[in-house]
């Protein structure tokens, strides 16, 4: 005789799927429902904080992540520490964030590699190398639409902040070749790269370079008029 499935497990799966799909409001509602049934559910509390982070509700997310910090005589959970680090990074508190990224790495080095940090000059050198390796159509597009590097996405950059996570690697803003506008205040037609996020997109310089190239191909694809479905078909989703 098989036991009935745990309704909390089903809700947890639904919430995690929503997070993976970028449906952050749905994820938040799902984890709220879990907490109605079990107010002390650690995973629901953690992923509720994660959902708040993606929704740019950084102060709430930070408070909730810190509420899960264990007593001083107990080891922290690496996933909790890494989440707090990402929230702090989104708030521009980079030194505090790096200390927590290091703590998550100490606790679980295989699961939480250290960010690959670059100086501004080193990051630009890597970007120049990646751009030189691009297909001709992209290199020509770069002449019309420059690349601008920002440390992190911000609410000021995000046109639709609830649809753009603080973890975004890159963004095309402006007017594409078909005349469709994706303007963002303060920027002309550019491709934005977010250095702090890209530094965490790979475990070494080579992997960061690969993620940078994929991101640039995706964003210049938007400039050239491809929609998300067409980018997915090209392997650039």
Per-residue pLDDT tens for 46-63?
Answer: 999 999 999 999 999 999
The domain segmentation of the chain, as residue ranges, is 7-107, 120-233
Residue carrying structure tokens 């996020």 = 197
The domain 7-107 belongs to what CATH superfamily? Tetratricopeptide repeat domain (1.25.40.10)
Domain 120-233 in the same topology as domain 7-107: no
**Residue 186 Cα distances to 89, 120, 145, 155, angstroms:** 22, 21, 15, 12
Give per-residue pLDDT as tens, 85-110. 999 999 999 999 999 999 999 999 99
Closest Cα to residue 201, out of 151, 152, 167?
167
Q: In the chain, which ranges are E strands?
A: 147-150, 170-175, 181-182, 190-194
For residue 234, the model assigns a pLDDT of: 45
Query: With the C-alpha atoms ordered 184, 188, 192, 196, is the resulting torsion angle positive or negative?
Result: negative
Q: Which fold has domain 120-233?
A: Zincin-like (3.30.2010)
Q: Cα(52)–Cα(27) distance, rounded to whole angstroms? A: 9
For residue 103, the model assigns a pLDDT of: 98
How many CA atoms within 13 Å lie on the side-chain side of 205? 10
For residue 7, the model assigns a pLDDT of: 83
Residue carrying structure tokens 């911000």 = 154
For residue 178, the model assigns a pLDDT of: 54
Task: Read off the pTM.
Answer: 0.88
**Residue 90 Cα distances to 69, 98, 104, 170, 187, angstroms:** 19, 12, 17, 15, 20
pLDDT tens digits in sequence order for the chain, 237 residues long:
445 568 899 999 999 999 999 999 999 999 999 999 999 999 999 999 999 999 999 999 999 999 999 998 999 999 999 999 999 999 999 999 999 999 999 999 999 999 999 999 999 999 999 999 988 888 888 898 999 999 999 887 766 544 689 999 999 887 666 555 555 555 568 999 999 999 999 999 999 999 999 999 989 888 887 655 655 554 444
For residue 137, the model assigns a pLDDT of: 85
Q: What is the DSSP string of 174-231?
A: EE-TTS-EE--TT--SEEEEEHHHHHTSSSSHHHHHHHHHHHHHHHHHHHTT--HHHH
Rounded (5°) CA angle 12-58-110: 60
For residue 189, the model assigns a pLDDT of: 83
Closest Cα to residue 127, out of 223, 221, 226, 199?
199
């Amino acid at each position: 005789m098989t036991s009935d499935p745990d309704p909390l497990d089903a809700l947890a799966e639904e919430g995690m799927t929503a997070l993976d799909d970028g449906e952050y409001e749905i994820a938040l509602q799902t984890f709220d429902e879990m907490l109605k049934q079990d107010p002390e559910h650690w995973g629901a509390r953690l992923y509720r904080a994660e959902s708040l982070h993606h929704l740019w509700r950084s102060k709430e997310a930070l408070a909730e992540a810190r509420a899960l910090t264990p007593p001083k005589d107990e080891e922290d959970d690496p996933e909790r520490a890494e989440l707090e680090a990402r929230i702090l990074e989104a708030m521009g508190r980079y030194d505090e964030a790096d200390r927590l990224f290091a703590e998550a790495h100490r606790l679980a080095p295989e699961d939480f590699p250290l960010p690959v940090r670059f100086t501004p000059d080193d990051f630009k050198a890597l970007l120049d190398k990646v751009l030189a390796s691009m297909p001709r159509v992209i290199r020509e597009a770069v002449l019309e639409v420059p690349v601008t590097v920002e440390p992190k996405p911000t609410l000021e950059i995000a046109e639709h902040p609830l649809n753009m996570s603080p973890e975004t690697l890159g963004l095309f803003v402006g007017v594409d070749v078909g005349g469709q506008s994706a303007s963002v205040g303060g920027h002309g037609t550019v491709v934005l790269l977010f250095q702090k996020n890209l530094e965490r997109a790979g475990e070494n310089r080579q992997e960061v370079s690969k993620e940078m190239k994929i991101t640039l191909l995706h964003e210049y694809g938007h400039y050239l008029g491809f929609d998300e479905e067409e980018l997915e078909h090209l392997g650039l989703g």
